[in-house]
Amino acid sequence: MAEAVAASEKSPNAWAQAIAAAVMISALGGGLLAFQKASAHSADEPATCSADKKDKPSKRVSGAELCTALNRADLPTLLGTPREHAVTADGSQSSLKLASGTEIATPEATVTLATYSVKLSRSYDDLPVAGTADLLGDAETKTVLGHPAVLYSDRTIALSFNLGGGKVDTGPGGIARSLLVAPDAKDGGGSFEMAIWRQDSVIPDDAALLRVAEKVLPTLPGWRAAG
């Protein structure tokens, strides 16, 4: 018996990704973890957030906090799938090490429903969001709640699990839509990133992504309202 799921191909921050590259292993690990949790979770109950036990540095958001903010009761409605509920929800403390040796904290959280998966992350690099559109290919500059933002497409990885043989096969998946947003209107460095993709590989709805972002981002530690 085989089961197939999709996992985001990129790690939290797209610009840091362009500099440091290499995320295949982490993406596969996240997909496998989500699959394992989905297998053990009751289909009749919304998933609650789970998170690793690593301590977070002071004044930084944790993966658990990102998960709690993202796994809100109205998330299915915001995504346009009001009859669904969270199947898996988890947060983690992670980091990205650049070639220079600099380590960037990149906590993240992912909530998966029957139709959509949503990933929320925070990058504590010094790079402003403005100007990243040129690094992300076919990207669109936007303003979200008065903050500089970039909307772009990414490709997911399709994971196929052979439950009998314990084998995991990978291949190209569908399209993910990602929104990179500065944590403050001054765009002094760092970013929040939200990505959505569909389990059926249909291109996700940008309006759904923006609805979720506009509700979730103002609730996050470190978000500074424009004004």
Give exposure, 140-166, as e/b (b: 16+ Cβ within 10 Å): eebebeebbbbbbbbebbbbebeeeee
Each residue's pLDDT tens digit, 46-85: 899 987 766 666 678 999 999 999 999 999 999 999 999 9
Residue 150 placed within a domain = yes
Judge whether residue 1 has pLDDT over 80: no
| Kind plus residue range of the DSSP H or E element containing 9 | none
The mean of the pLDDT values for the chain is 79
227 falls within a domain:
no
Asked if residue 12 belongs to a domain, the reply is: yes
What is the extent of the structural domain holding 91?
A: 2-219
225 within domain boundaries = no
The pLDDT, as a whole number, for residue 86 is 97
Please report which helix (H) or strand (E) contains residue 226, including its range.
Answer: none
Q: How many domains does the chain have?
A: 1
pLDDT at 81: 97
Give the pLDDT confidence of 198-218 residue by residue, as tens digits: 998 899 999 999 999 999 999
In sign, the C-alpha dihedral spanning 32, 138, 207, 202 is negative
* pLDDT tens digits, 144-177: 999 999 999 987 766 655 656 666 656 556 889 9
pLDDT computed for residue 6 by the predictor: 52
Q: What pLDDT score was predicted for residue 100?
A: 78
More confidently predicted of 154 and 183: 183
Look at residue 200 and tell me if it is in a domain.
yes
> In the prediction, which pLDDT does 155 show?
72
146 located within any domain: yes
Query: Is 226 within the bounds of a domain?
Result: no
Residue 167 lies in a domain: yes
CA atoms of 28 and 9, how far apart (whole Å): 8
